[in-house]
Structure 1
Amino acid sequence: MQEQQEVLAEKPEGLNERRSQAGPQTQRFFYYTYGMTVESDIELPELMPVPASASADISIITAGITESLADATFSGKWVQLSPSQCQLNVQGIARYRIEEGRRILVDRRVLEDERDGVPARDVRQYLLGMSLGVLLYQRDWLPMHVSALHTPTGVWAFTGHSGAGKSTLGAWLHYTQGWPMISDDVAVIKPEDSQAYLYPGPPRVKLWKDALQALGIDTKGLIRDLTRHDKYHLMVDEAFHKRPEPLKALVILERAEEGETASLEPLKGVEAFRTVMGALYRPDVGQEFNSPAALMARIAQLTDRIEVYRYRRPWSLEDMDSSVETLLDYIKRDVK
């Protein structure tokens, strides 16, 4: 628990109290993501719009939020937790309160010495990222930090530490093989399903500038990431599958040593379990809303349902076409 609290406390201090210039919302917007219908006060162009529904799965509401949770069991510099709620105070952007896996309250604030308005896209990045991730855990689901594609032999997902090249590899396979994408950031497994269906999230790709250049994609007009200046958000709505698909394989990416050729190795037992556990999105948060035993049981179930691999490859983008041949041969091995 102490280790989790230290991770959760690594963000900036909360906000001084001054509301942005955005006025009250009257229009309601409806979307589909992670297998849920979303009713929102805030327009979310990153999500797939759907007809209005009287029975949306979750609601996103603009509302005033107190600075602290009344029954908080943990209070960090930017995160507060209670048994049924989580509050994020993102300096200069907004305050988010996630409740019971059903609602996200958004209170837009700015620092007193900052501009009066906060760009809507900045508010949405934290709403569609950490806030939705917390809500998924509150519903006892498994948000997976993966890049995934629908290949000719099923859905293959790629995981690894930050900077392992998940998005780069996923985008490379999409643009060179024409395979539709399922996820580039977070996708969801619902343990209650009879199969390990992977539910897509927002249809966007986050790529570093050098990867965009290697793929011949112009950065003009793309949205820069808030925390990583040389990373860009690329909306590829038409390239994404919108509905859940059974997950066939999870692959952990590793960097090959100099002179080492690309290799793909099946993983079993403890190694496979650790790989699946490592693919969880913000597991420190997940353990706040799920007991360690329950979380491990769900991971063990998922590990038994899918294939797990380790893929080691050279890091150079110039060698990408040759280094992915081993992976492509394996993925396509059952194509008739």
Structure 2
Amino acid sequence: MSDDRTPSPAATALDMSSTGSPKDQRQGTQGHPRERFFYSTYGFSLVSHIPLPELVAIAPCDHPDIEIIAGHVDDTLAGGRQVNRWLQMADDQCQMWIEGIANYRVEQGQRIVIDRRVNESIASAASPADIRVYLLGSALGVLAYQRGWLPLHINAVQAPSGELWAFTGPSGAGKSTLGVWLNTRRGWPQVTDDVAVVKPEDSQPFLYAGPRKIKLWKETLEALQIDMSGAQRDLSRVDKFHIPVPGSSEVPPLAPLKHLVVLERGDGSRSRLTEVFGDEAVILLLDTLYRSEFGREFMAPEQIVQACEKLAMTMHVYCFCRPWSLEDMDNHLAPILKKAELG
């Protein structure tokens, strides 16, 4: 659900009435007004006016948790404040204007409105896939925080023992690469990539998977010999691609997150896995939150800290230093493989 490009405001936006001229009309988001698409993601059901192929389709339901519609979004959020040039916040709403893509309003943890306004020719309109990047990234991340949930910036796989292992770290740390390597070389099922959600009210830290796609650099895809059919190029990085998660047509089995591994670059030739506890583990969990600046808008700081303290007591948190190479990965990941085999 991550979108790493820093957005800037649109200078001018034309009205997108469906009766307007072709130049004015919404591009790439307007489904047929009678169409409804039902999906599951992040532990909730949703109904959408536009197709969302990255999500798992489900049977129609009478009372979905979330509604996503293509509609009109005012340039100014009523009762809101301007956080920066592209973001406005209110007590229970958030509005994001992504230049050349769309305007998104997230309301009360229940509804997302997408307003695709074009101020150039139809040829310059963003593709539906580009529009979905921010919908499934920042917009759903905001919605999770509005519900009091914690979105985590991770890649998660399931070890042979059945326990979930998640990898996190700064952009480029290799969390997706390690997850995909464990999937393709060791057969660990891929659960989710980029963002997943935990709900503080759960008795255990159950992990709710996000959109069923993986983001990988081209050199990683080639090194792991992964088929690039259907790959979508990343918006901000020309050599990074989004590919479907294996088994992406099904909702992953719900299981608690037992191991969180924070990736660090190692200086030597040997890997080192170190478990951390107490305040250090809590700080690492806080650093794992996806777009934590959004969280502070909708959750009190002490609420977030308490939720992370609860998580730290129910899982193992590690720092993992390894050589920065795809070569000899069996040896590099030996500390993790050994611990995972012990269960």
TM-score range, shorter chain: over 0.9
SS at structure 2 position matched to 1:184: strand
Q: Does 1:252 align with 2:272?
A: no
Question: Residue 138 of structure 1: CA displacement?
Answer: 0.3
Question: Residue 228 of structure 1: CA displacement?
Answer: 1.2
Question: Residue 111 of structure 1: CA displacement?
Answer: 3.5
Give the Cα separation in 2 of the matches to 1:232 and 1:91.
21
Give the Cα separation in 1 of the matches to 2:251 and 2:215.
17
Q: Does 1:143 align with 2:139?
A: no
Instruction: Count residues in correspondence.
Output: 326
What are the superposed Cα offsets for residues 106-155 of structure 1, whole Å, 9 maximum, x if unpaired? 00123326735331111111111111000000000000000011112300
Does the 8 Å contact 1:10/1:77 carry over to 2? Answer: no
Q: In the alignment, what sits opposite 1:33?
A: 41
Where in structure 2 are the equivalents of 1:324-335 lying within 5 Å?
A: 324-334=333-343
Give the Cα separation in 2 of the matches to 1:24 and 1:323.
48
Q: In the alignment, what sits opposite 1:4?
A: none
Give the Cα separation in 1 of the matches to 2:247 and 2:5.
38
SS at structure 1 position matched to 2:85: coil
Give the Cα separation in 1 of the matches to 2:50 and 2:211.
15
Does the 8 Å contact 1:87/1:97 carry over to 2? Answer: yes
Question: Residue 269 of structure 1: CA displacement?
Answer: 1.4
Give the Cα separation in 2 of the matches to 1:101 and 1:114.
32
After TM superposition, the score normalised by the length of structure 2 is 0.91
Moved more, 10-19 or 165-174: 10-19
Q: In the alignment, what sits opposite 2:272?
A: 263
Question: Residue 74 of structure 1: CA displacement?
Answer: 3.2
Give the Cα separation in 2 of the matches to 1:9 and 1:201.
19
What are the superposed Cα offsets for residues 68-112 of structure 1, whole Å, 9 maximum, x if unpaired? 101113341111101100011011111100000000000012332
Q: What percentage of residue pairs aligned between the two structures are identical?
A: 44
Q: Does 1:323 align with 2:332?
A: yes
Aligned AA (1:20): R
Aligned AA (2:297): E
Where in structure 2 are the equivalents of 1:1-336 lying within 5 Å?
A: 11-14=7-10, 16-18=12-14, 19-21=25-27, 25-26=32-33, 27-112=35-120, 115=123, 117-153=125-161, 154-238=163-247, 242-257=252-267, 259-334=268-343
Give the Cα separation in 2 of the matches to 1:252 and 1:241.
26
Moved more, 136-145 or 105-114: 105-114
Question: Residue 219 of structure 1: CA displacement?
Answer: 3.3
SS at structure 2 position matched to 1:12: coil
What are the superposed Cα offsets for residues 164-199 of structure 1, whole Å, 9 maximum, x if unpaired? 100000111011111111211110000101111011
Moved more, 214-223 or 88-97: 214-223
SS at structure 1 position matched to 2:290: coil
Moved more, 104-113 or 286-295: 104-113
Give the Cα separation in 1 of the matches to 2:208 and 2:218.
28
Give the Cα separation in 1 of the matches to 2:335 and 2:315.
20
Aligned AA (2:13): E
Does the 8 Å contact 1:149/1:174 carry over to 2? Answer: yes
SS at structure 2 position matched to 1:238: coil
Does the 8 Å contact 2:153/2:194 carry over to 1? Answer: yes
Change (3 A) 1:50 1:288: same
Give the Cα separation in 2 of the matches to 1:24 and 1:158.
36
